[in-house]
Amino acid sequence: MLVLAFIIAAVSPAPDAQARADSRAPDALVRFYESRARLGTAEIDWSRRQFEGPTFQTEHTMFYTTRLSPKERALYSRGDEEGVMTRNDAGLPAQAFPGAYMSFEGPDAVFDRWDGQHEASWMPKGSVRWTADLRALGALPWFCYEDVHDAMWKDPGESPPPRSYMESVEGALRVVAARRADGTLTWWIDPERGWQATRITFTRDGVLEREARIALARFGDHWFPQSVVYFSRGYKNGTEPCDVVSVDKAVFNDPRQPPVLTPADIGITPRMFIWLKDNTMKKVGTGMWDGTRITSTRFFPGMGAGVQLVQHLLEKTRPVAATSQPAPPEAQWEAYTRRFIERYKLTDDQTQSALKTLADCQEQAQGYLSRHAAEFEKLAAAEAALRDATEPERAARLAALREQQAKLHEPIDEIFEKQLKPRLEKLPTRKQRAAAETAQPATQRSMR
């Protein structure tokens, strides 16, 4: 009976609501969309617990960092609460590679790689759904990967019929219902909190199929979800959450954030080996990343349509602008610090000390990169000029440039090796160290 009453409440406006039907999107929904569309760049630390799946997956929370620019997305997976990236059916650590998993999605394609491996994969955009645009978090009653525009306005189907809208008022909230061919989306929007949605439902034939309950918080100048709890009629009849996303930290439109992200932001460097995959994730060939595009491609015989698709898409792919300055190793340092805190189960005071140490080292690294920006720019320009050189000359000069870049980057590496790591190592007590050694499985990722 409680569920039935809840379903009726989800689709019926309050008795005192003033409702109107219209083919135009109501102002409240447009304001909601515009507030999200203004988020050009972002860096978001978040976690996700998916209850609707195999037991080994549902028992753990995964942690991520997402970086966004207007047209690109980068995802850094930091593992679960035990620092484990993947698990087998028995729930035991089962990662194929050491280090963090990372992915990059640009306008044309997706790259992914494991930290510590000198290779990566290239896939057509749309073949994978790993780099969610979190600017659209809490825009639909399910976790979505689309950008804000498509999440808010794109309905399923090639030529979907136009929506019809109805708007009403419930207390201080504006309630906007959009009737689509497959059902009705309803947003409860709070004008006092940045025109953000606090609840979203999807109903079909009067039955509540999906729901998102959203807790909002201010992150700088922007209201944004602090948590989104999703419900599905297909999971325990909608009585328990099927998916929970929490945001720990979010920074938007910071002038220090890069206006463009590139594969270099997940560590894809020139001369890196690239596996070429088709839209079914099947390997169809190999290539080499030269800093702006994939070259030296070789395709496996007998792969048919997969090869043709990849060849066609590679020809259409626009070159990536060469990065003039390497990004600070913030994600890798943050992941190392988080694993350190979790491994030794540091106290709150110890955790604060660890985070202060991390911030201090990051500030030093950023300062060094800023002071030497012109030198990094010069090396990047010299590398870009090699595109027209003959192959023997290019290889020799590129090797020399790589040596200069490595030498220029040495002080950053020293901050990590000689400051961050030793300062963190001073924090755990003998008891914490002994407990960590006892608890750590042999298969678990080692601290690096």
Residue 92 has pLDDT above 50, yes or no: yes
Query: What is the helix (H) or strand (E) element at residue 438, kind and residue range?
Result: helix 430-439
Overall number of domains in the chain: 3
Q: Are strands 272-277 and 119-124 parallel, antiparallel or unpaired?
A: parallel
Taking the CA atoms of the chain, what radius of gyration do you get in angstroms?
24
User: 17, exposed or middle or buried, with CB in 10 Å at 0-12, 13-18, 19+?
Assistant: middle
Residue 165 sits in the same domain as residue 54: yes
| Residue among 267, 244, 399 nearest 327 (CA) | 267
Is the predicted pLDDT of residue 395 greater than 80, yes or no? no
Same domain, 305 and 409: no
Tell which of 282, 316, 350 closes a domain. Answer: 316
Would residue 245 count as lying in a domain? Answer: yes
Q: Is 322 a domain residue?
A: no
Residues 213 and 291 in one domain: no
Higher pLDDT, 8 or 292: 292
Which residue range(s) make up the domain with 387? Answer: 330-439
Same domain, 233 and 276: no
Q: Do 303 and 339 belong together in one domain?
A: no
Domain end residue (candidates: 204, 224, 252): 252
Report the pLDDT value the prediction gives residue 154, as an integer from 0 to 100. Answer: 93
Instruction: Indicate the pLDDT class of residue 369, thresholds 50, 70 and 90.
Output: confident
- Domain match, 187 and 147 both: yes
pLDDT, tens only, 299-349: 998 888 889 999 999 988 878 765 545 555 666 787 788 888 988 999 988
Q: Which CATH number fits the domain that encloses residue 175?
A: 2.50.20.10
Does 162 have pLDDT greater than 50?
Answer: yes
> Residue 233 pLDDT > 50, yes or no?
yes
147 and 190, same domain (yes or no): yes
447 in a domain, yes or no? no
pLDDT at 325: 52
Residue where a domain stops, chosen among 196, 225, 252: 252
At 179, which amino acid appears? R
Q: Are residues 244 and 274 in the same domain?
A: no
The reply to whether 259 falls in a domain is: no
> Does the predicted TM-score (pTM) go above 0.85?
no
- N-term to C-term CA, the chain: 54
Same domain, 234 and 281: no
Q: Minimal CA–CA distance to 36: which of 166, 176, 178, 150?
A: 150
Q: Phi and psi at residue 35, in whole multiples of 5°?
A: -65, -35
The answer on 382 and 276 residing in a single domain is no
Q: What are phi and psi of 163, to 5 degrees?
A: -80, 160
Tokens describing residue 363:
């500030």
Whether 445 maps to a domain, the answer reads no
The pLDDT of residue 392: 65
Indicate whether 263 belongs to any domain: no
Question: Does one domain contain both 201 and 75?
Answer: yes
Residue 325 domain-assigned? no
| pLDDT mean across residues, the chain | 84
Q: What local confidence, expressed as pLDDT, does residue 431 receive?
A: 92
Residue at 210 is within a domain: yes
**Would you state the pLDDT for residue 86?**
80
Residues 186, 175 contacting (CB under 8 angstroms) = yes
107 and 233 inside one domain: yes
